[in-house]
């Protein structure tokens, strides 16, 4: 057994994207879950300083295979990557993490003759998502009864996909769109969406290391708490008892609101988690329903 294998023996292996759009967010998730580590920039493996965990930094596209087929216990990657690597039968999505959101879309030149997916079918499509694009256009070709050389030609490129049309390699592309700036700069526009995706926490669909299951559950619970803390705030307010039903309709909470009686007769105090993106409208609606002293507090962390 070599030195690396010995250093990983008995540790939970957690795969993290080594670079790209997911890396910084993943390190924030780890910090929120109190998984402390020091990484040598020249190495792609490091051990946690406060848990029996080894972090393995891999390309996001490889992580589903290492979790599904290898000895890695947990990983963070994109939902799209799982489908593209055809690993959905071997890995389980434990939680969606709320970042890295984008859409896998069919794009064509904005001022070109192709306006629909049916127009593009049978022509040249360039993508780095060969499997998903092949499945999508395979169904389209079948629907249009295209056969042999008349079927859509899918060609793989690893990067610069958006340049394929202007450089004469493709009639259309399939690529991820986040803000759409790159797409528009290349003179393209979207004509269909294959799927919406975001970062997900995954684990193997089968138990590999029974002794590590309690630690896996603890880590996944902590990460779920970090994600919830980023999505929710705590809203507290006072309400008359006769107005409580309307107020709790506005703020049902993740499970249920916490309601406590106040010393002043017929008044109640309510504490509830609400979605951060909806909090301004919720506060307005609570005031209309008769709530007073409406307060909102940010969450640093939680358990849900």
Tell me: the pLDDT tens digits for 78-120?
999 999 999 999 999 999 999 999 999 999 999 999 999 999 9
Tell me: the pLDDT tens digits for 2-43?
545 656 778 999 999 998 778 889 999 999 999 999 888 778
Query: What b/e string do you get for 116-136 counting C-beta neighbours within 10 Å, with b at 16 or more?
Result: ebeebbbebbbbbbbebbbbb
| DSSP character at residue 157 | -
- pLDDT reading at 198 higher than 80: yes
pLDDT number for residue 4? 57
What integer is the mean pLDDT of 227-245?
95
Site of tokens 């490091």: 46
**Contact indicator for 37, 29 with CB cutoff of 8 Å:** no
Tell me: the pLDDT tens digits for 166-191?
999 999 999 999 989 999 999 999 99
How high is the mean pLDDT of the chain?
93
| DSSP character at residue 208 | S
pLDDT number for residue 1? 43
Query: Which residue in 151, 177, 152, 147 sits closest to 162, CA to CA?
Result: 177
Tokens describing residue 15 = 């795969």
Q: Rounded to whole angstroms, how far apart are CA atoms 66 and 58?
A: 9
Query: Which residue in 237, 195, 208, 242 sits closest to 69, CA to CA?
Result: 208
Q: Rounded to whole angstroms, how far apart are CA atoms 80 and 178?
A: 13
Interhelix angle 23-32/213-231, rounded to 10 degrees, is: 110
pLDDT number for residue 159? 82
Tokens describing residue 160 = 């610069």
Using 50, 70 and 90 to split pLDDT, how confident is the model at 304? confident
**Which residue ranges form the domains of the chain, and what is each CATH number?**
3-99+199-208 (3.40.190.10), 102-196 (3.40.190.10), 232-298 (3.30.70.120)
pLDDT number for residue 41? 75
Tell me: the pLDDT tens digits for 253-283?
988 999 999 998 899 999 999 999 999 999 9
| Residues linked to residue 16 through DSSP beta bridges, in sequence order | 57
Using 50, 70 and 90 to split pLDDT, how confident is the model at 197? very high
Task: Give pTM, 2 decimals.
Answer: 0.85
Q: Which sign, positive or negative, has the C-alpha torsion 100, 101, 105, 111?
A: negative
Q: How far does the chain reach from its first CA to its final CA, in angstroms?
A: 41
Tell me: the pLDDT tens digits for 212-232?
999 999 999 999 999 999 999
What integer is the mean pLDDT of 125-145?
96
Q: Rounded to whole angstroms, how far apart are CA atoms 256 and 23?
A: 35
Count of C-beta atoms within a 10 Å radius of residue 111: 7
HEC string of 31-64 equals HHCCCCECCCCCCCEEEECCCCEEEEEECCCCHH
Tell me: the pLDDT tens digits for 275-298?
999 999 999 999 999 999 999 999
Q: Rounded to whole angstroms, how far apart are CA atoms 60 and 40?
A: 19
Q: Rounded to whole angstroms, how far apart are CA atoms 204 and 242?
A: 50
Tell me how far CA of residue 167 lies from CA of 80, 186, 288, in angstroms.
26, 11, 58
| DSSP character at residue 148 | G
Q: Rounded to whole angstroms, how far apart are CA atoms 36 and 26?
A: 13
Phi then psi for residue 143, to 5 deg, are -65, -40
Count of C-beta atoms within a 10 Å radius of residue 290: 15
The residue length of the chain stands at 304
């Amino acid at each position: 057994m070599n030195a690396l294998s010995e250093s990983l023996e008995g540790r939970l292996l957690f795969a993290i994207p080594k670079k790209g759009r997911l890396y910084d967010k993943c390190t924030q998730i780890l910090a929120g879950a109190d998984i402390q580590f020091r990484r040598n920039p020249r190495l792609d493996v490091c051990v946690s300083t406060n848990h029996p965990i080894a972090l393995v930094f891999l390309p996001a596209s490889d992580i589903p295979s290492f979790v599904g087929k290898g000895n890695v216990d947990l990983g963070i990657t994109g939902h799209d990557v799982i489908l593209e690597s055809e690993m959905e039968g071997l890995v389980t999505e434990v939680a969606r993490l709320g970042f890295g959101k984008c859409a896998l879309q069919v794009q064509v030149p904005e001022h070109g003759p192709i306006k629909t997916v049916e127009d593009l079918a049978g022509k040249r499509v360039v993508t780095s998502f060969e499997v998903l694009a092949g499945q999508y256009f395979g169904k389209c070709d079948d629907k249009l009864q295209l056969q042999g050389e008349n079927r859509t030609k899918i060609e793989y490129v690893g990067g610069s996909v958006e340049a394929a049309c202007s450089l004469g390699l493709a009639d259309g592309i399939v690529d991820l769109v986040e803000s759409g700036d790159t797409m528009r700069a290349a003179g393209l526009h979207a004509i269909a969406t294959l799927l919406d995706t975001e970062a997900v926490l995954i684990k193997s669909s089968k138990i590999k290391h029974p002794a590590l299951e309690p630690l896996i559950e603890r880590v996944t619970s902590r990460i779920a708490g970090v994600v919830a803390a980023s999505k929710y705030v705590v809203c507290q307010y006072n309400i008359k008892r006769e107005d409580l039903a309307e107020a709790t309709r506005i703020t049902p909470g993740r499970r249920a609101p916490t309601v406590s009686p106040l010393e002043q007769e017929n008044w109640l105090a309510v504490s509830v988690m609400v979605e951060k993106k909806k909090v301004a409208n919720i506060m307005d609606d609570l005031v209309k329903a008769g709530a007073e002293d409406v307060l909102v507090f940010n969450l640093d962390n939680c358990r849900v």
